[in-house]
Structure 1
Amino acid sequence: MHSDEIANLESTVDEASLRRSERLSDDLKAKIQEDASPFRMLTGDRPTGRLHLGHYFGSLKNRVELQKQGVDSWFIVADYQVITDRDAVGEIKDRVFGLVTDYLAVGIDPAKAVIFPHSQIPALNELVLPFLSIVTDSELRRNPTVKAELDASGNRPMSGLLLTYPVHQAADILFCKANVVPVGKDQLPHLEQARVIAQRFDKRYGRPAGATHPIFPRPQALLSEAPSVLGLDGQKMSKSRGNTIELGMSADETAKLLKKAVTDSERRITYDPVNRPEVSNLVQLTALATNRDPHEVADEIGDGGAGTLKRVTTEAINEMMAPIRARRLEIENDQAIVEQVLRDGIARATEQAEETLREVHEALHMIYLS
């Protein structure tokens, strides 16, 4: 896994590699709990629509916790990635502002975080050029995201931006020298590509004069422990399916959606994700919102049926979301807050990116003027 010629970037992660990644992730969590000061986290989202409960329970809540533990936190709004697989960007500014609003509403502290769109950081994007010199066409085509898009394209020509998406993602991670990246198991090959690039750059081009350490640390995966949350129709929660509860929705909108949620005809409520996925999903949402065990939630509802389950779930989610909604409304009514957060984040990210790019140019012997 650490050799320069590593090629384990297939669409699936073999079991041995997955077990190893899980052990390393557990070790990383223990180190962060002991002392978070050596760690810098890079994570973020594409601004393709509003964030929802799946995002909150799957990643946002954990990001806030890591920041509270003292991890240096960098959040990227991956706006260039919107055009890797789309013909137009849509209302990109509104989506970027909405994404940052959601970040702040759930508890990300702008005084301790760096929040920025990568399109606004020229030096970050310039790193893609030297990085492209140390990856192969076949490696890029084996990347899960690239393969999936190619398979789903219906023979549509793939853009160069989509093909090089893994390299751009590596630049996002490495420019700020992040050493912690929260990911799901299916995203491990993406992070491995960034690790490969960091290692190959050091081996091929070396380091700035006098440097004792590589320019880029080897980022480590922090695997998510959050359970998968289904949409209200029992399918995968997805913005495109319209089966989500968005963070920006009101309590009434949430109640109406949950009233229409798919369940089954069996009156007794149990937590059985395999045989009763729709009912179990609502039980799990209730448990996540109240920090309880889902089996305990199901036993408490008992023979109350789907009506009681939906009522309990609605109350739990609306109570949990109340302070988030209040904060979100406050920010929506004063967009100067978001503008200042972005202004500060862009300035900090630009400073870091230019510093990193200068180190890269020194290693490449491309400093021509003093």
Structure 2
Amino acid sequence: MQERILTGDRITGKLHLGHYVGSLKNRVELQNSYECFVLLADVQALTTHFNHPAIVRDNLRNVAMDYLAAGIDPNRSTLFIQSMIPEIAELTVYFSMFVTVNSLRHNPTIKSEAAERGYTQLNYGFLGYPVSQAADIAICRATLIPVGEDQVPHIEQTRKIIRRFHDLYRPVFPEPQALIGAIPRLSGLDGGRKMGKSSGNAISLDSSPQQVNELIQKATTDPERIHKSDPGHPDICPIYSYHKAFNAPQAEDIYRNCSQGTIGCSECKARIAGQINKLLEPMNERRETISKYPKQIDEILISGTERARVLARETMQEVREAMGIAYFGPNTFQ
């Protein structure tokens, strides 16, 4: 049986270069070898944007276009909308009955994101994010989850939840494995944090060449380097992290010349801006074509969600039977 992958994003804004090097590029490659489900996680976006649901609504199609423009093929990957699969919500409730609050509070990913956002009081949805994520994975019966090292605790929590379900009732789900890749993290344009939608320090995938040039020219560089001839410190410069990600053949030369003070920041920025624009050019061309047919985007999302819904119904029927709560037989009210 072909391995099944689940991946996706919370749709809180347009995708950016950090998403591309961190996951999107890999997804495009994985769809050639695996059965891929790509989740537009609108419900989970509300864990941090519950007071601004319009942000989620407005970005649904933007993110879908980012996927398609980057090379996600709806004939090889199933794109589906989380809120349109009510079985996910049902399974989340069942899982939450036996997941302890302490285990969620000690999840390192939850702790770090809460600290990053300055949360002193955690709402139920934010704290329960790992339970919701476990339901996403289990409802699709995914066997592989592409993640970086920082997301491994989420996958391990999912595995524990699934094992607990099997101990209580009977086996229904495969235990997913983390497909860990060497996922680089781009520094933000401000140099202080990772590139992020909410931080305002990112280059979105739909940026024009002019926007890329302007953003790169404004980006923070080595604060200790004042003159072109001053020896630089590439390891602390966000621009060098972009060279490693998007200009690998020349990255070694950039490192050496920067360290020796034989290349200035302006030239260094101009070079990487050119490489980023080369990367984004075909994406923007595809996006321009796709944007002319908004109904086709909706059709892709509807069709993918329908496929995912069929699988979700089958999974939940087995869940209810395993729990002994399939009161009137299969699909009585469907």
Indicate whether the TM-score tops 0.5. yes
| 2:17 is the alignment partner of 1:59 | no
State the AA in 1 paired with 2:162.
Answer: A
Question: Does the aligned pair in 2 maintain the 1:270–1:295 contact within 8 Å?
Answer: no
Aligned to 2:201: 243
CA shift for structure 1 position 329: 1.4
| 2:110 is the alignment partner of 1:110 | no
Aligned to 2:37: 74
SS of equivalent residue, structure 1 residue 50: coil
Picking from 48, 51, 59, the partner of 1:85 is 48
SS of equivalent residue, structure 2 residue 249: coil
| 2:316 is the alignment partner of 1:322 | no
Question: Does the aligned pair in 2 maintain the 1:290–1:320 contact within 8 Å?
Answer: no
145-154 or 83-92: which moved more?
145-154
State the AA in 2 paired with 1:257.
Answer: L
Picking from 98, 104, 128, the partner of 2:62 is 98
TM-aligned CA distance change 1:267 to 1:79, over 3 Å: same
Aligned to 1:295: 252
SS of equivalent residue, structure 1 residue 367: coil
State the AA in 1 paired with 2:16.
Answer: H
| 2:239 is the alignment partner of 1:282 | yes
TM-aligned CA distance change 1:297 to 1:226, over 3 Å: farther
State the AA in 2 paired with 1:265.
Answer: I
358-367 or 283-292: which moved more?
283-292
Question: Does the aligned pair in 2 maintain the 1:271–1:283 contact within 8 Å?
Answer: no
Aligned to 1:16: none
State the AA in 2 paired with 1:367.
Answer: A
CA shift for structure 1 position 76: 0.7
SS of equivalent residue, structure 2 residue 302: helix
Picking from 300, 312, 316, the partner of 1:353 is 312
TM-score calculated relative to the size of structure 2: 0.89
Picking from 240, 256, 265, the partner of 2:214 is 256
| 2:190 is the alignment partner of 1:190 | no
State the AA in 1 paired with 2:36.
Answer: S
CA shift for structure 1 position 273: 5.0
TM-aligned CA distance change 1:351 to 1:142, over 3 Å: same
CA distance in 1, matches of 2:21, 2:189: 15
Question: Does the aligned pair in 2 maintain the 1:270–1:298 contact within 8 Å?
Answer: no
Aligned to 1:218: 175
Question: Does the aligned pair in 2 maintain the 1:146–1:163 contact within 8 Å?
Answer: yes
Aligned length: 321
SS of equivalent residue, structure 2 residue 5: strand
State the AA in 1 paired with 2:293.
Answer: D
Question: Does the aligned pair in 2 maintain the 1:85–1:162 contact within 8 Å?
Answer: yes
CA distance in 2, matches of 1:135, 1:109: 36
SS of equivalent residue, structure 2 residue 39: strand
- Structure 1 residues 13-57: Cα deviation after superposition (integer angstroms, max 9, x where no partner): xxxxxxxxxxxxxxxxxxxxxxxx631111111111111111111
Aligned to 1:19: none
Cα RMSD of the aligned pairs, angstroms, is 2.2
- Structure 1 residues 278-323: Cα deviation after superposition (integer angstroms, max 9, x where no partner): 2xx3233234224436214434777131121011111111111110
TM-aligned CA distance change 1:268 to 1:56, over 3 Å: farther
Question: Does the aligned pair in 1 maintain the 2:13–2:56 contact within 8 Å?
Answer: no
Question: Does the aligned pair in 1 maintain the 2:78–2:304 contact within 8 Å?
Answer: yes
Question: Does the aligned pair in 2 maintain the 1:269–1:306 contact within 8 Å?
Answer: no
Aligned to 2:226: 265
TM-score calculated relative to the size of structure 1: 0.81
Picking from 336, 350, 367, the partner of 2:295 is 336
State the AA in 2 paired with 1:52.
Answer: H
| 2:194 is the alignment partner of 1:233 | no
| 2:271 is the alignment partner of 1:309 | no
State the AA in 2 paired with 1:314.
Answer: A
Aligned to 2:98: 134
Structure 2: runs of 5 or more not aligned: 330-334
Structure 1: runs of 5 or more not aligned: 1-36, 207-213
Question: Does the aligned pair in 2 maintain the 1:58–1:224 contact within 8 Å?
Answer: no
Picking from 324, 327, 330, the partner of 1:365 is 324
State the AA in 1 paired with 2:152.
Answer: L
